[in-house]
Amino acid sequence: MSGDKPDKAGFMDRRDAARERLDGLFGAKGGKREDRSAWFDAVYETAGDDAAAVPWADLAPKAELVDWLAAHPGDGQLAVDVGCGLGDNAEALAQAGYRTTGFDLSPKAVAWARQRFPQSAVDYRAADLFDLPADWLGRFDLVHECYTLQALSGDLRERAFAAVASLVAPGGRLLVLTRTAPEGSTPDGPPWPLAPSELGRFSSLGLQRIEHHPYDIRKGERVIAHVRDVWLRVG
């Protein structure tokens, strides 16, 4: 597919144009579940074969994920990538030795990931975070959540914490990568970065934080605060 090797300037110019177009679509600024779902579908459907038109598709796994996996290989454990998009993070999990499922709300995203990685060991599925297969609940030794929570607001965001946590097996871990914002701030999203107290909600869902790693990503003159959190389901 075109765009699999970003040409920097051209890729970013197309991405900026896509962001402006996508921001004008219904559901771009939040809303009900159906509105937000329709917007995500529209992102992939209108992208054609150009990954630059998918604002969160970097065509490479997140560096903080790769660093963590280097110290925590899978050794055949089960992993799931929440909101897998075009598949780069799911592929990194599989390459680190995890038996990996990657799921996304958009069937177009799933088909695109399969086409990009035709020999992949990842089990790519179209699935809804708010209507998960029953046999996925409490199943995975590692749950990777990158940027899904920050893409949601209001009631959907509230519900997403429990949905993500429900995937973690007893003794399993949840790895979260997200933008963060100071407590009490009101970000004009999307994305809507998570405040520290929001991340802390996982503690009320049977999880215990075992790693907390703040880091920054620089985009031009912008410095964007992030965190990599790891949570353990005790018992």
pLDDT number for residue 219: 84
Distance between CA atoms of 189 and 56, rounded to whole angstroms?
Answer: 14
Closest to 26 (Cα-Cα) out of 9, 48, 46, 42? 42
Q: Is residue 1 part of a domain?
A: no
**Same domain membership, residue 212 and residue 185:** yes
Q: Which domain holds residue 208?
A: 63-233
Asked if 130 and 33 touch (Cβ cutoff 8 Å), the reply is yes
Could you tell me if 45 and 113 lie in one domain? no
CATH number of the domain bearing residue 155: 3.40.50.150
Gyration radius from the chain CA atoms = 17
Residues 84 and 48 reside in one and the same domain: no
Q: Backbone phi, then psi, for 116, in 5-degree steps?
A: -70, -35
Do the domain assignments include residue 58? no
Tokens 């903080």, located at residue: 64
Whether residue 81 is found in the same domain as residue 118: yes
Position of tokens 């990954």?
51
Is 146 in the same domain as 227? yes
Q: How many domains, the chain?
A: 2
Phi/psi for 94 (5° steps) reads -65, -40
pLDDT for 25? 58
Both tokens of 81, joined, read 């990538």
Spatial neighbors of 128 by CB under 8 A, at least 6 apart, are 37, 105
Residue 78 phi/psi, 5-degree rounding, is: -85, 135
Domain match, 31 and 140 both: no
Strand order in the sheet with 222-233: 123-126, 99-104, 78-82, 140-146, 168-179, 222-233, 207-219
d(CA 169, CA 235): 9
Closest residue by Cα to residue 102 from 75, 121, 77: 121
Task: Based on the fold, state whether residues 29 and 94 are members of the same structural domain.
Answer: no
Q: Provide the pLDDT for residue 55.
A: 80
**Res. 174: pLDDT tops 60:** yes
Distance CA 219, CA 198 (A): 25
Tokens at residue 74, please? 């899978």
Q: What is the pLDDT of residues 98-156, one digit of tens each?
A: 999 999 999 999 999 999 999 999 999 999 999 999 999 999 999 999 999 999 988 89
- Does 8 or 64 have the greater pLDDT score? 64
- Whether 132 is in a domain gets the answer yes
CA distance 69 to 48: 32
Query: How many Å apart are CA 196 and CA 76, to the nearest integer?
Result: 32
| pTM flag (> 0.85) | yes
Return the pLDDT at 218: 92
Same domain, 42 and 92: no
For residues 73 and 49, state if they share a domain: no
